[in-house]
Amino acid sequence: MFNKSILSLAILTMISVGCSKFRRIEKSEDWRVKYEAGLNYYAKKDYYRASILFEQILPIVRGLPEGEKVEFNLAYCQYHEKLFLLASDQFKTFYETYGRSSLAEEATFMYAYCLYASSPDSSKDQHSSIEAMNAMQNFLNRYPGSQFLNRAVDVITISQQKLEKKGFDNAKHYLKLKMYEAAVISLDNFKKNFPDSKYLEESAYLKVVAEFELASVSIRTKQLERFNLTVDYYKELVDNFPNSNFLKEAERYYTESLEQVNKLKSNKI
């Protein structure tokens, strides 16, 4: 217990000394002291303290040779602190300010990558994923042979997958809410936007379900058209996915739709 107390006291003393040293540096009026200390904290991966010092001297060193390193390192401090939107803005400021720098390519990549890192999972709004994809495509157009090529392609691919999942989940959500017409429209749009999606098979099946349910709750004058559409959508499912696991269930909607079509035609006669 005595040894543990001594160790704890030593750690607290070291922390106190470290804080006191940082406070002295922070209060220094010599920007060079802060600059060197900031680089030292950055090298030790103490991004919080480094960013504080870099932010303090940034207005002073902008335009000086040291300004380039301060701007660039500050952006990475924010990135490592998971302040992705701040970091993306900082990287953008860097490559716009130092367009001829050897670091401009990396800053342009990191601007797009930070947008990607800030994007939420597919259940949330995907505006930032779209921004990340556009920014990353612009990066590839500007630096087609970049050392970051593979990572850039991965970002675009993953962002597309998130948008794809979001679009499919939206269509299913309409179906769950019994908004059948919106579900059909959403499934049509999904197919147009993602013609190679892995969800197309299930999407084709859900379109059968949505149209059948829409026909079932429609006014009588709309039912014949909509049950006929259900039959058509079933045929599309069979044509495009002849071995689909959804065929058995879809066939039930197909059979019931045919029965309804015959009844409605008979009543017309």
Band of residue 15 on the pLDDT scale cut at 50, 70, 90: very low
Dihedral sign from CA coordinates of 82, 84, 90, 96: positive
46 located within any domain: no
262 located within any domain: yes
Whole-prediction pTM: 0.80
The total of structural domains in the chain comes to: 1
Chain centre to alpha carbon of residue 232: 36
Helix (H) or strand (E) holding 38, with range, is helix 31-43
Number of Cβ atoms within 10 Å of the Cβ of 91: 29
Q: Per DSSP, which regions of the chain are E strands?
A: none
CA distance 252 to 262: 16
Q: 201 Cβ partners below 8 Å, 6+ apart?
A: 240, 241, 244, 246
28 located within any domain: no
Chain centre to alpha carbon of residue 71: 26
pLDDT digits (tens, 9 = 90+) for 136-183: 999 999 999 999 999 999 999 999 999 999 999 999 999 999 999 999
Whichever domain contains 267, its CATH number is: 1.25.40.10
Length of the chain: 269
121 located within any domain: no
215 located within any domain: yes
CA distance 220 to 226: 10
Q: How high is the pLDDT of residue 120?
A: 81
Q: How high is the pLDDT of residue 19?
A: 65
CA distance 269 to 15: 91
pLDDT at 26 over 80: yes
Band of residue 10 on the pLDDT scale cut at 50, 70, 90: very low
Quick one: what percent of the chain has pLDDT higher than 90? 83
Band of residue 21 on the pLDDT scale cut at 50, 70, 90: confident
pLDDT at 254 over 70: yes
111 located within any domain: no
pLDDT at 58 over 60: yes
Q: How high is the pLDDT of residue 268?
A: 64
117 located within any domain: no
Nearest to 114 by CA among 90, 145, 94: 90
pLDDT digits (tens, 9 = 90+) for 85-134: 999 999 999 999 999 999 999 999 999 999 999 988 776 778 889 999 99
8 vs 123, residue with greater confidence: 123
Mean per-residue pLDDT for 218-222?
Answer: 94
Mean per-residue pLDDT for 51-77?
Answer: 95
Q: How high is the pLDDT of residue 9?
A: 45
CA distance 201 to 249: 13
Please provide the average confidence, as pLDDT, over all residues in the chain.
91
How many angstroms separate the Cα of 189 from the Cα of each of 160, 169, 171, 193, 226? 15, 13, 9, 6, 19
pLDDT at 2 over 70: no
pLDDT at 252 over 70: yes
Range of the domain at 191: 177-269
Exposure class string for 180-213: b at 16+ Cβ within 10 A, else e: bebbbebbeebbeebeebebbbbbbbbbbbbbbb
- CB-count burial class (<10 Å; 0-12, 13-18, 19+) for 106: buried
Q: How high is the pLDDT of residue 163?
A: 92
Q: How high is the pLDDT of residue 208?
A: 98
22 located within any domain: no
Nearest to 172 by CA among 198, 203, 216: 203
Q: How high is the pLDDT of residue 63?
A: 86
DSSP state of 124: S
